[in-house]
Amino acid sequence: MGRYIIRRILWMIVVLFFVSLLTFLLFFLGGSNPAKAIAGTHATPQVLAKINEYYGFNKPLWTQYGLYLWHLVHGNMGTSYQTQLPVATAILQRFPATMMVALWGIFFELAIGIPVGMISALKQYSIRDRVFTVFSLLGIAAPSFWLGFIFLFAFAFKIPIFPLGGYDGLLHPIYGVLPGLVLGLGGAAWYSRMLRSSMLDILGADYVKAARAKGLPERTVVWRHIMRNAWSPIVTLLGMDFGWFLGGVLVIEIVFSIPGIGQQAWNAIQTQDRPMIMGTVLFGALLVTVSNLVVDIAYTWLDPRVKYR
């Protein structure tokens, strides 16, 4: 197991390296001029030349990338061209807002998705199953910016239960409820469909029939024999979602005025703020790879048949 984890971590470094290389190259393929993005469209060629010199934009591509990597392995992610803040500081400043929404999102995904999936599977083709099916499909189909505005309008403007967007620190989690709900509803729909189908597969299995035939109470059958085996796909989804959510969900952050990582990355892309773009992409990639690793390790605990060498 220990060797497995070390091998996975080494692979993570390889993945991150290629992610950084690709992002860097894409930045240059666009044919943009970062000096112009820094100084604005009114700046004269002399001013642009001075900025090119200052940031080394006139150096060859590979020298620039090499310098970036050199700084990166020394723990320096660079300084934002726009705000002059260290990239790591900027990301960590924005991370709590994103994390709050992500946690609420995961909470709602599970709190809605799992019961709905279970009921749908255990009472297949009942009225409840059909109603849930319809709402699941709606949840998957509804664009989150639309749903976000509807929720804001209904539960913050007309009936002011929740704040009208914004973020006020981790001590005020109420700001994360509506964005988390919108985020979670879309996910819950997937979770419930996934759980329903994986439970339906298992329901017909011989060992379930055997458990029922033994006269085990239904509760034990469901929790010990069915759910234990139905968790795997849910955990996989959860791991991917968590990494993705923590990378910042732009649409949700924009609709709900959340000053998170997503909005920061969006601004960086619009202003060609290369260190900021690189930093955010690497941070996001790191989160996704780490959460995947955690999920894979969690399998061994969920399903003793899974072993890694």
Partner 1 sequence: MKTRRTLVASVALALLLALAVGLAACGSSSGSSSSSSPGTGTPKSGGTLRVTFQGEPTGLDPAIAWEVESWSIERLTYQTFLTYADKPGTAGTQLVPDLAAEVPSAANGGITQGGKVYTFHLKPGIKFAPPVSTPVTASDFKWSFQRMMKAPLAPATFFYTGIVGAQAYIDGKASSISGFKVVDPQTVQITLQKPDTSFLFAMTMPFTSVMSKAWVAKVGKQINRKPLGTGPYTITKWTPGQEITATKNPNFASQGAQGQQYVDNMDFTFAANPGTALLKLERGQADVLGDGIPPADYLRTTQSSQWSKYVVNAPQIMWFYTFMNVLEKPFDNVKVRQAINYAINTQKIQKLLAGQAASLNQIYPKGMPGHQDGKTYYTYDPAKAKQLLAAAGFPNGFTTTFYADNVDPMPKLAQSVQSDLAAIGITASLKIMDRATYWNFISLKKSHAAIGFSDWYQDFPDPSDWIGPLFTNPIDGGANSSFYENPQVTALYNASGSQLDPAKRLQMFEQMQDIIMQDAPTAPMYQAVFNGMHGADTGGFYVHPVWTFNFQSYWKTNGQ
Return residues touching partner 1 (CB under 8 A).
Answer: 30-34, 36-48, 50-51, 54, 82-85, 90, 93-94, 97, 130-131, 133-135, 137-138, 149-150, 152-154, 156-158, 160, 164-168, 253-259, 263-264, 267, 270-272
Residue whose CB is less far from partner 1, 78 or 239: 78
Least Å distance, CB 150 to partner 1, is 5
Q: Residue 149 CB, nearest distance to partner 1 (Å)?
A: 7
| Cβ distance to partner 1 smaller for residue 220 or 270 | 270
The token duo for 191 is 């979770």
Q: Indicate the residue among 189 and 255 with the shorter CB distance to partner 1.
A: 255
Residue 258 to residue 253: CA distance in whole angstroms? 5
Phi–psi pair at 31, nearest 5 degrees = 75, 25
- CA dihedral sign of residues 24, 25, 30, 34: positive
In the complex, the smallest distance separating the C-beta of residue 216 from partner 1, rounded to whole angstroms, is 32
Complex with partner 1: residue 90 or 195, whichever CB lies closer: 90
Least distance (Å) between residue 291 CB and partner 1: 24
Q: Return phi, psi of residue 215, to 5°.
A: 85, 20
CB of 62 to partner 1, least distance (A): 22
Give φ, ψ of 168 to 5 degrees: -135, 45
Print burial letters for 105-124: b (CB count within 10 Å at least 16), e (below 16).
bbbbbbebbbebbbbbbbee
Report H helices in the chain.
Answer: 2-29, 34-39, 45-55, 61-73, 87-122, 127-141, 144-152, 177-203, 206-213, 218-220, 228-246, 250-255, 261-270, 274-302
Nearer to partner 1, 239 or 247 (CB): 247
Q: Is 1 helix (H, G, I), strand (E, B) or coil?
A: coil
Burial class of residue 73 in the structure, from the number of CB atoms within 10 Å of its CB (0-12 exposed, 13-18 middle, 19+ buried): exposed
Shortest distance, CB of residue 210 to partner 1, whole angstroms? Answer: 31
Residue placing its CB nearer to partner 1 in the complex, 151 or 190: 151
What secondary structure does DSSP assign to 123-179, as a single string?
A: TTTSHHHHHHHHHHHHHHHS-HHHHHHHHHIIIIIIS-SS-SS----TT-GGGGHHH
Report in angstroms how near the CB of residue 146 gets to partner 1 at its nearest.
8
CB 37 → partner 1: shortest distance, Å?
5
Q: Which lies closer to partner 1 via its Cβ, residue 128 or residue 209? A: 128
Q: Which is nearer to partner 1, 115 or 165 (CB)?
A: 165
